[in-house]
Amino acid sequence: MNKVSVMKEIDELTDIYCTDCLVLRDLRKTRGKTGAHRFCIEQCTVGEQLRFLGEELMKVTDDK
């Protein structure tokens, strides 16, 4: 896996699941932006996948 493919996968996940997320929108109203972000990172299954991809992104190096 290279950085470009990991970034594309991250973009696809956020475009498909996060852009129009009703849970995120509701949590921003009730908990604020920070509370909603914390939910996404700690409890959302998409957030778990994004966190995993972020860790993978840190491991890979550019192929030059």
pLDDT band of residue 61 (cuts 50, 70, 90) is: low
Instruction: Report the domain count for the chain.
Output: 1
Which pLDDT band holds residue 64 (cuts at 50, 70, 90)?
Answer: very low
Burial, 37: exposed, middle or buried (Cβ in 10 Å; 0-12, 13-18, 19+)? middle
Higher pLDDT, 63 or 1: 1
Name the residue range of residue 52's domain.
3-58
pLDDT in tens, 5-60: 999 999 999 999 999 999 999 999 999 999 999 999 999 999 999 999 999 999 88
Pull the structure tokens for residue 36.
Answer: 């909603």
The Cα–Cα gap between 26 and 54 comes to 25
Tell me which residue has tokens 């929108």. Answer: 25
SS3 45: helix
Closest CA to 40 of 59, 58, 13: 13
The answer to whether residue 64 is domain-embedded is no
